Amino acid sequence: MQITQDGYTLDLETTVAQPGVIDFRFRILGPDGTAVTEFDPIHDRELHLIVARRELTGFWHVHPRREADGTWTIQLELPEAGAYRVFTDIAPRALGRTITLGADLALAGHYAPQQVPAANRSTEVDGYTVTVDGELRAEGDLLTLTVRKDGAPVTDLQPYLAAFGHLVILRAGDLAYVHVHPNGEPGDGITPSGPEISFHTAVPGPGTYRLFLDFKHDDTVRTAAFTLTTATAQHH
């Protein structure tokens, strides 16, 4: 993910900070070098901010507020020192499509590097068990994530940002970024509200990937994280 694409630049006012609550500020600059203030919404928001530790052991999906001059602000709570990557999903109105820009954020202090978590197809979060079926392939494949609570399928997931789930995939090493939206949408009459959420995904190539699924149930958004590996493409 580039800091500049198609003439648009992610301009971080905050690039170095102390761990804790950070007054995080940035602008999106357009081709003329001025701050962009007109965006088409993507899933109910003008901008999605994703923050991840470089080792992919921490993940935050948040929604900053845009000031009139085009400066975006949010209080980020990042408790640990280390190297972070931030991504913005945006659709500048003048561009007419969605792009993702990325930049680095460093938090000063004693930094203990961590390993990317081992591969797993099931994870627990707040009493929920989420499992993933399917493979990550460059040519694309269907991933199905199933949400259970206390062993029982969750069939009343709530819409979150106009979907029953949001999936962000990041590759260990270069943090190649894939943001996919699920098949179907709430209220279309055919998409069930769980326990399965399915996504068509295509990844940029071989590697180890971290998957972060945001889902909403009982009025709370939770994030389930997985590690999957993908091999080189199979020759038939």
Burial of 110 (0-12, 13-18, 19+ CB in 10 A): exposed
Query: Does domain 122-230 fall into CATH 3.60.20.10?
Result: no
CA 217/CA 235 separation, integer angstroms: 42
CA count, 13 A, side-chain hemisphere, 38: 4
pLDDT of 187 reads 87
- Choose the CATH number for 4-107 among 3.40.720.10, 1.10.150.20, 3.50.50.60, 2.60.40.1930: 2.60.40.1930
The domain segmentation of the chain, as residue ranges, is 4-107, 122-230
**Shared fold status for 4-107 and 122-230:** yes
pLDDT of 236 reads 45
pLDDT of 106 reads 97
Question: Tens digit of pLDDT for each residue in 110-131?
Answer: 988 889 999 999 999 999 999 9
Percent of the chain having pLDDT more than 90?
84
CA 102/CA 4 separation, integer angstroms: 8
Residues 6+ apart with CB under 8 A from 218: none
Question: Tens digit of pLDDT for each residue in 144-182?
Answer: 999 999 999 999 999 998 899 999 999 999 999 988 878
